[in-house]
Amino acid sequence: MCFLAAYAASFIYILFDQEYVHAYLAHGVLLAGGGLFVFLVTRYCYNSLLEQEYQASHDRVTQLKNRHSFNKSISMLAKSLSPFYIMLIDLNGFKKFNDAFGHPFGDELLRQVAEKLSKQLPEHCRLYRVGGDEFAILGHNRQQHHLEKDIKIIQQQFEQPISVRKQNLHIGISIGVSSYPTHSNNAHELVQQAEQALYAAKSRKRHWKIYSEDLNKNALEHLAIANKLQNAIDKQQFQLFYQPIIKASNNSIHGAEVLLRWKQADGSYIPPDTFIPIAEQSTLIHDITCWVIKQAIEDLAILDKQGFTGCLHINLSAKDLHNNMLLTCLDKIAAKVTPQRIIFEVTESAMMTDIKQATKVMVELVNSGFAFSLDDFGTGFSSFPLLRDLPIEQIKIDRSFVINMASHEANQSIVRSIIFLAKSLNCTVVAEGVEDNTSIGLLQVMGCHYLQGYFFSRPVSLEQYQQLLDALPPASSESHQTRLNSF
């Protein structure tokens, strides 16, 4: 409008003002106004472009550079041919805090972590946030021993708790590293290798791992197992084995822990430690758990014909408590069994990952008559609130405390304390890893209820378990009693 008015004024003055003084004035104003306008528009566009570029390259929560920038930087570094490393950092158990305290709390925690990492970041490094609870560092031109020094610097920052909204949180981190050009000269491959190293660090409960060829081999094996697992149920390759659980007071058979075995065409077995974590990465784990429960119930009917009255202990995966699929599975088959004959074994980490959902599933099953045993007790968080708040009827002392307790006084003290704790909470106790007579004597004196271990029997096939039942008659009526009627 200003421009139009100025042009009109200029035209009128040229027509009617013989001296052109006013026309020159109007031209001057026009040019000055136009210049100012162009300057303001250019500045606005420039700022807006800068803002857009910043938003596209930075993470909103921590203001660190994001994955897009990270990928761009790796490609540029790889093109420059100078050595560098990729360090991926993952916060252990972040989801737990996010679920327990909410997303604003989780965001605050991420900001604090970003600040902590930025403060002590070695000069030759750049920090990025590349995913939910995943950070990345690109470090330039480092030898292996320098790299390990950098890892130590990062780890030391997490030795002290992080304070978020007056809560002191002990956050652990896992680190996976790959180097250019040692491991690969392809940017995409380097990221994959760092991810593999991170996965290995997490799954082996190590704090950090530098990529090696072995990991790649493992990844290929992992893929092969994942493919074979798809058809294992249909091809009837799974088998159930049974390890007797003995009543400590009279050495009679109380029940059995059901253990899954996966037989291969060559007669070898792939251990559950190998294939269960792979199954847990998809919904396949639910199909496997459901198959185990169905098969165990069928086997229980066979054992019952022989006069067996004990309980079968079925291990659940951490993932089985994370949704309602276990409930759906049991809905279909629960009518075929007396729930009091089944005890589900769960680990602390299974409950901790999503405590709300785990509680929901556990309470519903306890209300239907099933019971829960806390497996591997003493090796995980040993979190007392879990014991207090969840419907746990039994504690299984981890075998690492029992196996050498006869010659290890500290382990005796730990076992004694766990038995005392369990009894105070009105829980029964199973000692796993019983392998010698002296330990049996000690456990009996301590008042342990049940014993399990190679001293009595290794896990055996159903037929062999039936033979054991003939040799060691079951105690009379061994179904569990529900401890907490309030659930």
Pick the stretch among 125-133, 281-289, 343-351, 384-392 that binds Mg ion (CB under 5 A): 343-351
Query: With respect to Mg ion, which residue has the nearer C-beta, 98 or 394?
Result: 394
Number of helices (H) and strands (E) in the chain: give both, helices first: 18, 16
Going from the C-alpha of 375 to that of each of 311, 398, 450, the distances in angstroms are: 16, 7, 13
- Nearest one of 90, 105, 95 to 322, comparing CA atoms: 95
Question: How is residue 363 written in tokens?
Answer: 């309470």
Q: Which is nearer to Mg ion, 174 or 315 (CB)?
A: 315
Stretch that binds Mg ion, among 69-77, 264-272, 339-347, 462-470 (CB under 5 A): 339-347
Stretch that binds Mg ion, among 93-101, 338-346, 438-446, 473-481 (CB under 5 A): 338-346
Distances (CA, A) of 60 to 52, 64, 128, 131: 12, 8, 12, 12
Identify whether the C-beta of residue 129 lies closer than 8 Å to the C-beta of residue 114.
yes
- Rank residues 193 and 315 by Cβ distance to Mg ion and give the closer one: 315
125: nearest Cα among 70, 191, 72: 70
Stretch that binds Mg ion, among 88-96, 119-127, 367-375, 377-385 (CB under 5 A): 367-375
Interface region with Mg ion, contact rule CB under 5 A, candidates 140-148, 227-235, 374-382, 436-444:
374-382
Residues in contact with 179: Cβ distance below 8 Å, sequence separation at least 6, in sequence order: 83, 84, 85, 86, 142, 144, 147, 190, 210, 211
Residue from 150, 195, 287, 375 in contact with Mg ion (CB under 5 A): 375
Kindly report the backbone phi and psi dihedral angles of residue 471, in degrees, each rounded to the nearest multiple of 5, phi listed first. Answer: -75, -40
- Contact by Cβ (8 Å): 288, 296: no
Alpha carbon dihedral 206, 211, 212, 216, in 10-degree steps, equals 100
Nearest approach, Cβ of residue 364 and Mg ion (Å) = 21
345 binds Mg ion per the rule CB under 5 A? yes
Q: Which of these ranges, 136-144, 196-204, 342-350, 433-441, lies near Mg ion under the rule CB under 5 A?
A: 342-350
State which residue, 195 or 345, has the beta carbon closest to Mg ion.
345
Strands in 120-172 per DSSP E? 125-129, 134-140, 162-164, 167-169
Please tell me the count of residues contacting Mg ion according to CB under 5 A.
3
- Which is nearer to Mg ion, 139 or 453 (by Cβ)? 453
| Dihedral of alpha carbons 53, 57, 60, 62, sign | negative
In angstroms, the Cα distances linking 208 to 88, 89, 194, 255, 278 are: 10, 9, 11, 41, 21
Q: Which one, 150 or 375, has the nearer CB to Mg ion?
A: 375
Contact between 287 and Mg ion (CB under 5 A)? no
Q: In a 3-state reduction of DSSP, which class is residue 97?
A: helix
Instruction: State the minimum distance, in angstroms, from the CB of residue 347 to Mg ion.
Output: 8
452 binds Mg ion (CB under 5 A): no
Residue 396 beta carbon to Mg ion: minimum distance, rounded to whole angstroms: 6
Stretch that binds Mg ion, among 70-78, 317-325, 372-380, 385-393 (CB under 5 A): 372-380
Task: For the CB of residue 256, give the shortest distance to Mg ion in the complex, in Å.
Answer: 11
Quote the least distance from Cβ 375 to Mg ion, whole Å.
4
CB of 264 to Mg ion, least distance (A): 23
Residue spans of alpha helices (H) in 233-319: 272-279, 284-305
Q: How many residues are there in the chain?
A: 487
Q: Which of residues 306-325 bind Mg ion (CB under 5 A)?
A: 315
Binding site for Mg ion (CB under 5 A): 315, 345, 375
